[in-house]
Structure 1
Amino acid sequence: MHETMVVEEDFFGRMKVKGPYGNTEIIRRFTLVNENGMSVQLITYGAAITSIKVPDKNGTVEDVVLGFDRLEEYQNQTHYIGCTIGRVANRISNGTFRIGNKEYILEKNNGPSHLHGGSHGFNKIVWDSLVEGSSVTFSHHSPSRDQGYPGEVMCYVTYQLTDDNEVLIDYKATSTQTTPLNLTNHSYFNLGGHGSGPVYNHTVSMNADYYTPVDETLIPTGEIADVTGTVFDLRKPTDLASVMNRVPGEGFDHNFCVKGEIGTSRLAAKIFHSESGRSMEVWTTQPGVQLYTGNSLPTDDSLKGKGGAVYKKHGSFCLETQHYPDSVNKPNFPTCIIGPGELYQHTTVFKFAIEE
């Protein structure tokens, strides 16, 4: 069997960035290529996916994730494009949570809420890296009280590209204290190509009978609601054009409760783009997946991406595998708390295919 090739290089030449302790670090880029003409690029800044190139039904290869050409653009962006998110993905209400009798106060960087680990979360970190065979593992030591969270946390994120056109992401972490953890990848996808415009021409299906309704600040109310009879009933393939304008907030930014046993890999979502024939399945061991349709991207031409492409509102979608948002404050949600020495682990798979 052909083994996926991994090429390591300096990212954008010898450009360097200030590390957390004042040292300078070279940003590394890794390119994974399989025998089908598919490739994935990763960088150590934010342990981010910067490119996923996939052939269409005619053999034409397009990059299907948003990204940037320069490191400064990754440093300055506010949309988390492509990055690994931690310590806790999604929102924590009022920027606070309790473990036992102790309250922890976090930064409120999204209105009244704490979002995606804070303004200097894992997306702003230069990760260590190691190539092992056909996979790349990024690692990071997060000190106690990093962004307000308790415990020293050691994290590992491993990426692998298979000859079945699967991007495998395996997350592992341990902590020295009881702490919440909820890691995810925040890639923005467009199966027609990263700069091809609105994703209204994509068809989505979610393997979820329930979702978590939110208030006006996008914090879950605590209810786990049946999707039946609502705009969130995406169990059958649904054109995004037919539902986007009926979702409060001008698009999806909602957590769906993935059917099946938590901890086992099961299908969470499938997206299909008929013009190119590309499809993408998302498989996860996590309890939930956040469908986000780029509602906060600008409506003007101010966000420039790779090759001068313009990224606008509704020009992409994210499928963030996760614990439910604000689960640290919702005792009826599956817990995201781990104890000292306990292994945190979950796996996500982005599987690409061609369909007629």
Structure 2
Amino acid sequence: MEVLKERFGQIGSQSVYSFTLKNDEEMEVTVINYGCIITRINVPDADGMIENIVLGHDTLDEYVNDPYFLGAVVGRVAGRIKGGSFELEGQSFTLAQNDNTNHLHGGLKGFGKVVWDAKVMEDGVLFSYLSRDGEEGYPGNLYIEVTYRLTNDNELSIHYRAQSDQKTLLTATNHSYFNLSGNLKRDVLNHSLHLKSSRVLELDKEFLPTGRIMEVNDTPFDFTKGGTVKRGAESDYPQNVLVGQGYDHPYILDKNHDHEIVLKDPESGRTLTVESDEPAVVVYSGNSLKAEGDFRGVPSRKYLGICLETQAYPDSIHHPNFPSMVLEKGEMYSSVTRYKFGIED
């Protein structure tokens, strides 16, 4: 196991570095201390060809100007908060409104557009950040650590730990766009997805949960026996049409740490198994990627990557029937998501 640190750029007086985690199986994961962004994941295909399987850029400027949260840790709250406001113990808090009138992925900067402290470890890197009281409108000084570790079994783990000196909201996730074809040779429409999830949250026209929990059976949202991503892209089912022909929906996980999310590309043979502590995963099929700009020379377009955002239910602060994302004063927040890369048998 090896961790290589290199200079990546500068933001004001703050230096940004890349950290490349290398294991004994020739897998490499590169992350930067700007937004804890995963810039590359290099893994072999069925023929042993090692290629990158996430959307990314080569320069810091491109990440600073990126509108898609590419590879970043997003928070304090991943997903949307209706109206950019909420109440805790009778007190109202107003957040940054960066998605029409709503709050999205932590706000204007959140966790994804700031420089984190970094500490190299034997098998990974630990990032830390102090989100001050009032940042993006959230209460409490929140200290958060995000640790990336790589094993020789081609497993990348992300461990989130945090504590606040006031009651606040927290659910962080990683926003990587996966494309198992390798170096973005194809879009993800023919990727197959298997989810241990029998229920999904219905969305309204602003992509916020209505509060209704839908059964997935007999709908294009049923991946309990597997299915291709293009099922949703080609569907005239109202919820698929609503989000731009595809998926941008929170699935309620029936299982945790039990192969609950499996993504496969039949042509390359690559597989990705995601396991998490979290109660839900937002499956976003890249429907809003615009045909503008590029990712390392590959033109941007719809369905070029798929996000698997493990997190709490979005906007749960406004839905008493959803599991809470409230973090109590002094309580330790801890959550782990593991990404296991392999080859289909």
Q: Same fold (TM over 0.5)?
A: yes
Match of 2:294 among 296, 300, 304: 304
| Unaligned segments of structure 1, at least 5 residues | 19-23
| Unaligned segments of structure 2, at least 5 residues | none
CA deviation after TM superposition for structure 1 residue 293, in Å: 0.6
Q: Which residue of 2 aligns with 1:32?
A: 21
Match of 1:267 among 237, 241, 259: 259
Size of the aligned set, in residue pairs, is 339
Q: Deviations over 1:37-67 (max 9, x none)?
A: 1100010010110000000010001100010
Question: What secondary structure does 2:317 align onto?
Answer: helix
Q: Which residue of 2 aligns with 1:228?
A: 217
* Pair 1:198-2:187 in alignment: yes
How far apart in 1 are the matches of 2:102 and 2:199? 24
Match of 2:151 among 162, 166, 174: 162
Write out aligned runs for 1:16-165 (5 A): 16-18=10-12, 24-165=13-154
CA contact (8 A) 1:195 1:309 kept: yes
**Could you tell me the TM-score, scaled by structure 1's length?**
0.93
How far apart in 1 are the matches of 2:183 and 2:332? 36
Question: What secondary structure does 1:243 align onto?
Answer: helix
CA contact (8 A) 1:270 1:280 kept: yes
CA deviation after TM superposition for structure 1 residue 205, in Å: 1.0
Q: Deviations over 1:91-130 (max 9, x none)?
A: 0011111101011111221123110000111101100000
* Equivalent AA in structure 2 for residue 288 of structure 1: A
4+ long deviations beyond 6 Å = none
Write out aligned runs for 1:311-330 (5 A): 311-330=300-319
How far apart in 1 are the matches of 2:16 and 2:176? 19
Q: Which residue of 1 aligns with 2:272?
A: 280
Q: Which residue of 2 aligns with 1:21?
A: none
How far apart in 2 are the matches of 1:132 and 1:60? 28
CA deviation after TM superposition for structure 1 residue 242, in Å: 3.0
Match of 1:237 among 226, 235, 240: 226
**Could you tell me the TM-score, scaled by structure 2's length?**
0.96
CA contact (8 A) 1:267 1:284 kept: no
* Equivalent AA in structure 1 for residue 11 of structure 2: V
